[in-house]
Each structure stands twice: as structure tokens, then as C-alpha cells.
């Protein structure tokens, strides 16, 4: 029964924190080209996203005016890398819906030799090159997504998570839970209080075949669930990493087959060794005829 409760917690929390997010895939790349992003390019004709992330070390080039102002909800641009405005328009423009915001980490930047015009609705929120950390938004706008991403890095044995904003954040609590539902270890990591700047956290964990449950505690003692993830038992040098919106497979393999809990083979999208398109649930990943149990 405890195992079932843990799985239910995992599925509920994972579902609640998901957002429509697109991330950069390399550098340098063109904003309007699909190969610049792990999903469709966030241009005026593409799928609408809540969050656009340019990862550290990546440069995305904006060569023409991008008008997303007709999108039905705010857009939150997270710059861990560089947004380079190189279009010939004067000024170079990025037009976002009302209530949108841009958060730039210490490694992020907006760069251009042109006049820049980045708007949220009718308000210009940025008009010059900027090196992070920085935050741009209409007055009173805060990033509503506290948790941006999380993963367990099997190579470094680090649990890693990133916040896009924090409010009254005192500390994080990381519970290690075994298959019987027993908390075997608890760790605390200090938060950053109040911030709209991207913050990254990590915790070194030598664990295997267990669940990790992470909560956040405010200064007033209020506790908020952030995420639950599973650190799977490793076999045959295959690393299966549970990211917030995909499952990453590292290692040597030639063929993947995915079976759902009803025994039916499941379709999926494979992009750069990352599996997309799976609903939350139980799966058997068969990699070169070797089965792996996966809870996503």
C-alpha cells in the first residue's frame, strides 16, 4: 500500500508542475528554425508555449521580428544562455503577450549592436543589451513558475533542480524514500528568499532504486510540494534520466521498444536520445531486448 501511495504522489505532483515548455538544442541557432529547439520553433505560427528556455552555452539568433503578442497567455523567457538579436529591422523586436517576463541568469545575456525593443503587451520591458542576472517584466509581474526543471545526473550522482522565481523561500527538504515507503534520509538545502532570478541547486546523493521527494518551506513555515522523482537501479551501463518533460536515455543501444502497463506497445518521439510524448504512468523500456521498469 505504501508503494502505491508513493506512486500516486509521484503522478499527481509530476502532472501539476508540467508546463508547455520549449528548450534550445544547440548553438548558434536560428530562432525560427525547428532544429534550434527540442520542439517546434516558438514563432507566430507554431504551438504556443508558456516557457521558452535558452540553455547555458547556447546562443539563439533572432534575425527577424518575432511577434508572439497574439498568444493567449503570457510567455516566460528563461535565458541561461544568450539571445542574440541580429536582424536588419530597426529596432530589433520581440513582441510578447501581456504579462510576459524575461529572467536572465548569471550566465545569460541579451546581446545586439542594434536598438532592441522587447515588449510585453504595449509596454517595452527591455531596450538594450544586458548581461545577467536580470529580470524584465511589466510592473508587478512575477514569474508564476517556481520550479523550472529537475533531474538526477547519474554520472555526477547529483540531484539538480532550478527555480525561475522564489517567494519567502527559507529552505528545501529532500527526503529519500525506499520501496517500502520509509524515509531513510533527509537533507535540507537553503533557499534564496525572494528572487525573480534563476537559481540552481544540487545535492550529492549516492542512492539507487529509491524515490526522492522534494518540498520547499517558507519563512512562515508553510510547506509546498515541488517534485518527486525515482532514482532507478542501473544495469548494463544504460542511464535513464527522468527530466520534467522527457525521459533521457544515455548509453549504448540500438533499438527501443516501450510497453505501457496494459501490455500495449506505445508510440513516442525520440529527439537527441530524449523520449517525448509519453503520458505519466508505468512503462517497460526494452533496450536491445533488455527490459527496464520506468515510472514517469
Q: Return the pLDDT at 5.
A: 41
Cell of 136: 524584465
Cell of 188: 535540507
- The pLDDT tens digits for 60-77 are 999 888 999 999 888 889
Highest mean pLDDT among 88-97, 107-116, 228-237: 107-116
Q: Return the pLDDT at 17.
A: 39
The residue from 96, 120, 137 where one domain ends is 137
Asked whether residue 283 falls in the same domain as residue 266, the answer is yes
Cell of 82: 544568450
Q: Is the pLDDT of residue 271 over 90?
A: no
The residue from 196, 214, 231 where one domain ends is 231
Asked whether residue 167 falls in the same domain as residue 246, the answer is no
Q: Is the pLDDT of residue 94 over 80?
A: yes
Q: Is the pLDDT of residue 119 over 90?
A: yes
Sequence-distant (6+) residues with CB within 8 A of 129 are: 109, 110, 111, 112, 116
Q: Return the pLDDT at 209.
A: 76
Domain assignment present for residue 12? The answer is no
Domain assignment present for residue 5? The answer is no
Do β-strands 101-104 and 123-126 pair in parallel, antiparallel, or remain unpaired? unpaired
Domain limits for position 42: 20-137
Whether pTM exceeds 0.75: no
C-alpha span between 24 and 57 (Å, rounded): 10
- The pLDDT tens digits for 252-263 are 777 888 988 778
Asked whether residue 74 falls in the same domain as residue 111, the answer is yes
Asked whether residue 110 falls in the same domain as residue 183, the answer is no
Sequence-distant (6+) residues with CB within 8 A of 179 are: 3, 209, 210
Q: Return the pLDDT at 143.
A: 56
Asked whether residue 116 falls in the same domain as residue 170, the answer is no
Please compute Rg for the chain using Cα positions: 20
Asked whether residue 74 falls in the same domain as residue 178, the answer is no
Domain assignment present for residue 248? The answer is yes
Domain assignment present for residue 84? The answer is yes
Asked whether residue 188 falls in the same domain as residue 291, the answer is no
94-103, 143-152, 183-192 — which is least confidently predicted? 143-152
The residue from 108, 137, 166 where one domain ends is 137
Domain assignment present for residue 13? The answer is no
Asked whether residue 227 falls in the same domain as residue 241, the answer is no
The number of folded domains in the chain is: 3
Average pLDDT value for residue range 276-282: 85
Q: Is the pLDDT of residue 264 over 60?
A: yes
Asked whether residue 149 falls in the same domain as residue 129, the answer is no
Q: Which residue has the cell 508546463?
A: 19
- The pLDDT tens digits for 195-248 are 888 888 999 887 777 889 999 999 999 888 888 888 876 555 677 777 778 888
Q: Are 157 and 163 in contact (CB under 8 A)?
A: no
Higher pLDDT, 97 or 242: 97
Domain assignment present for residue 15? The answer is no
What secondary structure does DSSP assign to the chain, as a single string? -HHHHHHHHHHHHHHHH---EEEB-SSSEETTSGGGBSSS--STTS---SEEEE-TT-EEEE-S-EE-TT-SS--EEEESSEEEE--SSSSEEEEE-TT-EEEE-TT-EEE-SS-EEEEETTEEEE-S-EESSEEEESTT---S-SEEEEEEETTTTEEEEEES-EEEEEEEEEEEE-TTS-EEEEEEEEEEEEESS-EEEEEE----SEEEEEEEEETTS-EEEEEEEEEPPPBTTBEEEE-SS-EEEES--S-EEEEETTS-B---EEETTEEESPPSSEEEEEETTEEEEEE-
CA-to-CA separations, 186 to 124, 153, 214, 220, in angstroms, rounded = 45, 19, 10, 21
Q: Return the pLDDT at 243.
A: 78
Domain assignment present for residue 1? The answer is no
Nearest to 227 by CA among 287, 296, 147: 147
Model confidence band, residue 91 (pLDDT cutoffs 50, 70, 90): low
Do β-strands 123-126 and 256-260 pair in parallel, antiparallel, or remain unpaired? unpaired
Q: Is the pLDDT of residue 269 over 70?
A: yes
C-alpha span between 244 and 56 (Å, rounded): 17
Q: Return the pLDDT at 187.
A: 94
Average pLDDT value for residue range 14-35: 74
C-alpha span between 3 and 255 (Å, rounded): 31
CATH number of the domain that residue 199 is part of: 2.60.40.1930
Domain assignment present for residue 14? The answer is no
Asked whether residue 58 falls in the same domain as residue 42, the answer is yes
Asked whether residue 215 falls in the same domain as residue 125, the answer is no
Q: Is the pLDDT of residue 97 over 90?
A: yes
Higher pLDDT, 249 or 234: 249
Q: Return the pLDDT at 236.
A: 55
Q: Return the pLDDT at 151.
A: 84
Asked whether residue 58 falls in the same domain as residue 120, the answer is yes
Amino acid at each position: 500500500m505504501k508503494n502505491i501511495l508513493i506512486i500516486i504522489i509521484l503522478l499527481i505532483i509530476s502532472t501539476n508542475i508540467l508546463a508547455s515548455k520549449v528548450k534550445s538544442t544547440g548553438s548558434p541557432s536560428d530562432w525560427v528554425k525547428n532544429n534550434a529547439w527540442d520542439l517546434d520553433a516558438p514563432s507566430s505560427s507554431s504551438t504556443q508555449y508558456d516557457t521558452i528556455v535558452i540553455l547555458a552555452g547556447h546562443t539563439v539568433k533572432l534575425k527577424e521580428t518575432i511577434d508572439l503578442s497574439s498568444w493567449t497567455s503570457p510567455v516566460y523567457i528563461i535565458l541561461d544562455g544568450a539571445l542574440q538579436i541580429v536582424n536588419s529591422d530597426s529596432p530589433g523586436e520581440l513582441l510578447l503577450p501581456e504579462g510576459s517576463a524575461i529572467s536572465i541568469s548569471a550566465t545569460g545575456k541579451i546581446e545586439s549592436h542594434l536598438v532592441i525593443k522587447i515588449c510585453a503587451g504595449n509596454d517595452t520591458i527591455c531596450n538594450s543589451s544586458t548581461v545577467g542576472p536580470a529580470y524584465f517584466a511589466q510592473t508587478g509581474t512575477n514569474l508564476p513558475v517556481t520550479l523550472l526543471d529537475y533531474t538526477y545526473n547519474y554520472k555526477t550522482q547529483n540531484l539538480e533542480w532550478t527555480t525561475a522565481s522564489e517567494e519567502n523561500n527559507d529552505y528545501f527538504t529532500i527526503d529519500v524514500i525506499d520501496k517500502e515507503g520509509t524515509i531513510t534520509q533527509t537533507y535540507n538545502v537553503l533557499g534564496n528568499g525572494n528572487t525573480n532570478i534563476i537559481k540552481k541547486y544540487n545535492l550529492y546523493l549516492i542512492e539507487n532504486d529509491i524515490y526522492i521527494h522534494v518540498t520547499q518551506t517558507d519563512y512562515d513555515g508553510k510547506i509546498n510540494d515541488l517534485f518527486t522523482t525515482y532514482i532507478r537501479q542501473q544495469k548494463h551501463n544504460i542511464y535513464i534520466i527522468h527530466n520534467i518533460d522527457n525521459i533521457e536515455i544515455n548509453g549504448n543501444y540500438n533499438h527501443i521498444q516501450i510497453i505501457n502497463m496494459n501490455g500495449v506497445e506505445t508510440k513516442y518521439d525520440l529527439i537527441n536520445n530524449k523520449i517525448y510524448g509519453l503520458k505519466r504512468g508505468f512503462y517497460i523500456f526494452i533496450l536491445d531486448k533488455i527490459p527496464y521498469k520506468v515510472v514517469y
